[in-house]
Amino acid sequence: MAVMPEWWGGRDLRGMLPHIFFEHFRGTSLIAEHEDRLLGFLVGFFCPDHADEAYIHFVGVDPSWRRVGLGGDLYRRFFALARAEGRSVVRAVTGPVNTGSIAFHTALGFSILPGDAEVDGLPVTADPGPQGDSVVHFELVLGGEGGA
């Protein structure tokens, strides 16, 4: 909570992480630390409704530790957790404006799923959640990971 405004350039995305994630989803969440300093985190879960799927809900990396592969490393460790639990597909979403996130997911081997509309040439679907914006859906079939 404390690092979020700084890591997201002043945007307050703390609402993405209600307390339940800290209490009930630790087993599928990861942190990266260096000398007791938090450098990055990944919050995910194994989808209860879809026995083959794991979902990456939210990921952050300290701005001064970006572009060294920390995000990719967190993702790959989550892939390993998912595979060990018999999950074969990992999903995530982002907004169509997040071109950096789209490049990151594509480099890791994620495909962009078909949507019901298009924004800037990207297939999107309406987000049923509170933001109400359209989102790009990513899917990675485990075994097809890239090296980003």
Q: Which residues bind a copy of itself (CB under 8 A)?
A: 1, 14-28, 45-50, 53, 55, 57, 93, 127-132, 135
- Residue number with CB closer to a copy of itself (15 or 114): 15
Q: Find the shortest distance in angstroms from Cβ 108 to a copy of itself.
A: 20
**In a 3-state reduction of DSSP, which class is residue 34?**
strand
Taking the C-alpha atoms of residue 60 and residue 71, their distance in angstroms, rounded to an integer, is 8
Q: Which residues contact 124 (CB under 8 A, 6 or more apart)?
A: 96, 115, 116, 117, 118, 134, 135, 136
Alpha-carbon dihedral sign for residues 55, 65, 102, 120 = positive
53 or 148: CB nearest a copy of itself: 53
Neighbours of 49 (CB within 10 A): 5
Least distance in Å: CB of 138 to a copy of itself? 13
Report the residue number, 18 or 121, with the smaller CB distance to a copy of itself: 18
DSSP state for residue 141 in the 8-state scheme: E
| Minimum separation from the CB atom of position 127 to a copy of itself (A) | 5
If the CB atoms of residues 48 and 143 are measured against a copy of itself, the closer one turns out to be 48
CB 15 to a copy of itself: min, Å: 4
